[in-house]
Structure 1
Amino acid sequence: MPVRTAHYGFAERWLPRLVLAPSFVLTLVFLYGFIVWNGYLSFTTSRMLPNYEWAGLAQYITLFENERWWVAVRNLGIFAVLFIGGAMGIGIVLAVLLDQKIRFEGAIRTIYLYPMALSFIVTGTAWKWILNPGLGIEKLMHDWGFTHFTFDWLVNSDMSIYTVVLAGLWQSSGFVMALFLAGLRGVDDSIIKAAQIDGASLPRIYWKIVLPALRPVVFSTLMVLSHIAIKSFDLIMALTGGGPGYSSDLPATFMYSMAFTRGQMGVGAASAMMMLMAVAAIVVPYLYSELRKDGNG
């Protein structure tokens, strides 16, 4: 009996670790291992194939001297500001409206959430058709008799990045709405009723009381949207392909083009490391504040 108990205790202690060990090892090798490998390649003379000859900061100097890289960075700034701000603004407004217990709330919530069920490839392809001057909105308006109507953002190098913003907002606003609606439903109704008794209007209650109470939701949403904005690749490739020219390039598409189509693996690795640093600049302070808060708690 003691021997059986000892075997049971050993299995209970080590079986979960043995089950999780393969996933842990694979994650360690294929995620963090390749991050380290990519970081090393960014300091080498790698071009078409990996070359482990040390080159110092040469690839980063080449990267920062590349005009296309700065176009991608500028586009990322435009896309991030409009995408994150727009998605959060639209999502909060939709969540507040649905929080009023309106009729057909379930159906409306499903309609708003439906785009999130699609991949960015599908979203990009659909919006490519919608915005195509020969197929979509512009042709429809011309067929209706509005012959002077133009909506050629998709083929306009100055406006192409804004088509990506439109598609991204359509995809993610419902997701933001769902997060904030869940947060609103968690706010104590007695606080709102007390404010109403004191004469506060409903917009003032949401602005001064409810939304400040949703600060964790705001930070979480900001984190998710920032991550989506920085790593956006499939939406760009499906919608604009980085064009016209490279006018709608983002760092992710720039990295792919350099590493896999132009034979500049070292420059591509350097751009990937810059993207990693951008993500870390967002994630690390947030994790530090959360861990510090838990430690003080």
Structure 2
Amino acid sequence: MSMIATPVEVHPRPKEGTMMRLQAALPKLVLAPSFAAILVFVYGFILFTIYLSFTRSRLLPVYELAGFDAYQRLWSQPNWWVAITNLGIFGGLYIGVCIALGLFLAILLDQKIRGEGVLRPIYLYPMALSFIVTGTAWKWFLNPGLGLEKTMHDWGYAWFKLDWLVNPDMAIYTVVIAGVWQASGFCMAMFLAGLRGIDGEILKAAQIDGASTIALYRRIVIPMLRPVFLSAFIVLAHMAIKSYDLVIALTGGGPGNATELPSTFMYSYTFTRNQMAVGAASAVIMLMTICAIIVPYLYSELREKNS
């Protein structure tokens, strides 16, 4: 009579099961404090700011709701209209010039020129600096009493004049210059990565068909860089809307209020003029503007991934 051996089920030891559960829960345990901190100190304070914008808070928070009173007072402030106008000037020039200059530098480096390994970090170096450092450096450079204008006068060029930093009509353009100097290298890196990712066979086929260099870039290369253009626009628009430290270091919002931006307006009305509800309302407007830019972009990205 033959004996048939039946397989014996081996159950994991209780200690092994506990270790497996701990290993599975370890990432959640590690991320839980950060998630809780973000939930409270980012999204919690965003909700708190939105709530304060519907109150009559001044020096200290007042929790009694007052409807849209703070928003009405906000849009009746002349300084707020100056800040909105300056944001349009600064944002439009900052985004446009950074993208154009970044694309030009990327195309230049994509020609496999000599010294690319040296030029690339030189162009990228300003992005490694904080906006405070950038603003301070450009403040010294553009100061008529000790910067470029004084240097040119010392060299004998008495006719040279560059007083934009103290000229209320031109001061906002100094902020544009400093911002472009810092961010154009970042745009260059994005466009250079996009250019290096284009299939070379497509370009060779176009060249064989007789396409000129200008037509090659205008009809093939630049249209294929559309995602890079969109990403650069999103990042730069976000940076332009929340620009604060660059303006404070460079002009301090002056002369007068010539370089006032929504971010500096929000700070001054919240912490200097004791108009907390108005400052909160301006912060909410800034948040809505950023959301109006970022949310459609995220929606389109998610829709492309799901399709």
Quickly name the TM-score band, shorter chain normalised. over 0.9
CA RMSD of aligned residues (A): 0.9
Q: % of aligned pairs identical?
A: 63
Aligned partner of 2:185: which letter?
A: G
Specify the alignment match of 2:104 in structure 1: 93
Q: Which residue of 1 aligns with 2:301?
A: 290
The answer on 1:250 being equivalent to 2:289 is: no
Q: Are positions 1:56 and 2:67 aligned together? A: yes
1:9 Cα deviation (Å)?
A: 2.4
Deviation at 1:123, TM superposition (A): 0.3
Residue number in structure 1 paired with 2:3: none
Question: Quick one: distance in 2 between partners of 1:96 and 1:206?
Answer: 9
Q: Corresponding residue for 1:264?
A: 275
Deviations 1:75-101 (A, max 9, x none): 000001000000000000000010000
Query: Which of residues 228, 235, 239 is equivalent to 2:246?
Result: 235
Q: Does 1:141 align with 2:155?
A: no
Q: Which amino acid aligns with 2:34?
A: S
Amino acid of the structure 1 residue aligned with 2:31: L
Corresponding position of 2:23:
12
Q: Residues of 1 paired with 2:47 and 2:291: CA distance?
A: 15
For 1:1-297, what aligned pairs fall within 5 Å after superposition? 1-296=12-307
Task: For 1:288 and 1:110, locate their aligned partners in 2 and report how far apart those are by CA, in whole Å.
Answer: 34
Rounded to whole Å, the distance in 1 between the matches of 2:36 and 2:254 is 40
| Partner SS for 2:111 | coil
Inter-partner Cα distance in structure 2 for 1:58 and 1:146: 55
1:128-153 CA-to-partner distances (Å, cap 9, x unmatched) read 00100001111112112221221100
Deviation at 1:203, TM superposition (A): 2.0
| Greater mean alpha carbon deviation, residues 199-208 or residues 129-138 | 199-208
Which consecutive aligned stretches of 4+ in structure 1 deviate over 6 angstroms post-superposition? none
Q: C-alpha deviations, 1:255-288, integer Å up to 9, x for none?
A: 0000011111110000000000000000111111
The number of equivalent residue pairs is 296
The one-letter code matched in structure 2 to 1:225 is L
Tell me the distance in 2 between the aligned counterparts of 1:108 and 1:291: 36
- What one-letter code is carried by the residue in structure 2 that aligns with 1:7? T
- 1:107 and 1:292 map into 2 onto residues whose CA distance is 40
CA deviation vs aligned residue, 1:53-90 (integer Å, no higher than 9, x gap) = 21110100000000000000000000010000000000
What is the CA distance between 1:202 and its match in structure 2? 1.4
State the shift of 1:219 in Å. Answer: 1.1
Q: Calculate the TM-score normalised by the size of structure 2.
A: 0.95
In the TM superposition, residue 5 of structure 1 has moved relative to its aligned partner by 2.9
Structure 1: 5+ residue runs without aligned partners?
Answer: none
Unaligned runs of 5+ in 2: 1-11
